[in-house]
Amino acid sequence: MYATPYLCSMVIKNNVSLKPYNTFGVDARVGYFAEVKSVSDLKKAFRFIGEKEISFLILGGGSNVLFKNNFDGMVLLNRMSGIETIDESADFVMLKVAGGEPWPDLVDYCVGQGLGGIENLSNIPGTVGAAPIQNIGAYGVEVKEVVEEVEVFDLQNGQTHTLSNRQCEFAYRSSVFKTSARGRYFVLSVKLKLSKKPVINLSYAPLKKMFESRNIESVSIKEVSAAVKHIRKSKLPDPENMGNAGSFFKNPVVTKAELQNLLKKYGDMPYYPFGGNSFKLAAGWLIEQCGFKGKHMGNAGVHEKQALVIVNHGHASGEEILNLAMEVKHSVAEKFSVELEFEVNVV
Ligand code: EPU
């Protein structure tokens, strides 16, 4: 590994291991690698990519990506930092947060300031810039509920744009950044509208249960954040100890007719109304019924406490992890005639 003295402030490195930059801990290598801390870094990277005619990939915390192979192009690591209050009223605070800020730190900052809206999203690994990309969600809240705007750098034409909440086309674990504009935008900052008069959301049953002896008016966002951290810790593996990317699959959505068919055979199957004629199934339950919970396949495995999560037990390659995910997908399709979609981006 050596540094190319191509740019003054930003160093472009060659042939770098991505192991420290993906939470699966997969040891894939990349042709060129740079840490982007400013728009001028980004402009220089944009020129470099154009001159070399290489493909590129933007990484935040690397917590939702699986490297199947080495990557020939350039990885741009979002290291933009800063949290700024840009507007304030009696009820709300508008924060402009740089894309490279760690998401869990932002939640802790907001909870500490008494600003409500994202406390249910405590401890989700990753960066602020990645949060709108997959519209992160947990315990009854999705980030789309607080995102006002997303400021991006377009790596196709080198221009900066601002996308409104509507233009982000948010959906369940999806947005324009994962669909029609996939891989095109580097998220510079996200504007979030947070409440000075927080409304506590205990719609997720296990969370509600933790406060059942309490009047909801007396529950604080600090307590909700602590409860969410506690539930996450009891169910989800910490990437620091065991490589993983949270849910590997999305919960599948089926029609009422499909649901009724399944319920005839599997009366205890969990499901949730998903608007209109649609229902969400619990992928974790479907995978567990196929006998995968806690199963090892080489160095990869299905987590013993949450079957939606695929883990790296040691030195699993991206291919080993993907093979297990494919086997899970095929088994669920065979047993339930339900197609599981990956939530994780496979590169
Ligand atoms: N279940 C099983 N077996 C399992 C896992 C779950 O039977 O191995 C059952 C549970 O008993 C429950 C149902 O499935 O009846 C739902 O489980 P859980 O409440 O754990 O939530 P989930 O639907 O499996 C989703 C998100 C998680 C998020 C939790 C809590 C997706 C793909 N996953 O999981 O998000 O933390 O709800 O809100 O929507 C992530 O995206 O990385 C993630 C972890």
CATH number at residue 202: 3.30.465.10
Please report the pLDDT score of residue 9 as a whole number. 76
Q: Are residues 260 and 226 in the same domain?
A: no
DSSP 116: B
* C-alpha 21 – ligand 1 centre gap (Å): 25
Below-70 pLDDT ranges, the chain: 1-8
Closest CA to 194 of 84, 312, 114, 303: 114
Are 181 and 204 part of one and the same domain?
yes
Domain final position from 78, 104, 128: 78
Beta carbons of 123 and 228 less than 8 angstroms apart: yes
- Structural domains in the chain (count): 3
Ligand 1 center from residue 231 Cα (angstroms) = 11
The Cα 88–Cα 68 span in angstroms is 45
Is residue 181 one of the residues assigned to a domain? yes
Of 192, 97, 83, 87, which Cα lies nearest the Cα of 148? 192
Domain assignment present for 8:
no
Verify that 303 and 212 share a domain, yes or no.
Answer: no
Establish whether residue 252 lines the binding site of ligand 1, counting it when its CB lies within 6 angstroms of any ligand atom: no
Residue 108 lies in a domain: yes
Domain stop point among 217, 235, 253: 235
Residue 204: CB within 6 Å of ligand 1? Answer: yes
**pLDDT one-digit tens code per residue, 261-308:** 999 999 999 999 998 999 999 999 999 999 999 999 999 999 999 999
Q: Are residues 125 and 216 in the same domain?
A: yes
Residues forming the active site: 173, 247, 343
Instruction: List for the chain the helix, strand, coil content (%; round to 5).
Output: 30, 30, 40
- Are residues 142 and 70 both part of a single domain? no
Task: Kindly state whether residues 17 and 89 are assigned to the same domain.
Answer: no
State in Å, rounded, how far the first CA of the chain is from the last one. Answer: 22
User: Is residue 157 in a domain?
Assistant: yes
Nearest to 199 by CA among 64, 66, 89, 91: 91
Name the token pair of 258: 């499909």
User: Does the C-beta of 247 come closer than 6 Å to ligand 1?
Assistant: yes
Same domain? For 184 and 296 the reply is no
Query: Any idea which residue has 């406060």 for tokens?
Result: 211
CATH number for the domain that contains residue 39: 3.30.43.10
Whichever domain contains 334, its CATH number is 3.90.78.10
Domain that holds residue 61: 13-78
Distance CA 5, CA 256 (A): 60
Report whether residue 343 contacts ligand 1, using a CB cutoff of 6 Å: yes
89 and 119: one domain? yes
Q: Are residues 222 and 260 in the same domain?
A: no
The two three-digit tokens of residue 94, written as one number: 């508008």
Decide if 1 is inside a domain.
Answer: no
Q: What spacing in Å lies between the alpha carbon of 251 and ligand 1's midpoint?
A: 8
Picking from 37, 60, 78, the residue at the C-terminal end of a domain is: 78
Could you tell me if 148 and 129 lie in one domain? yes
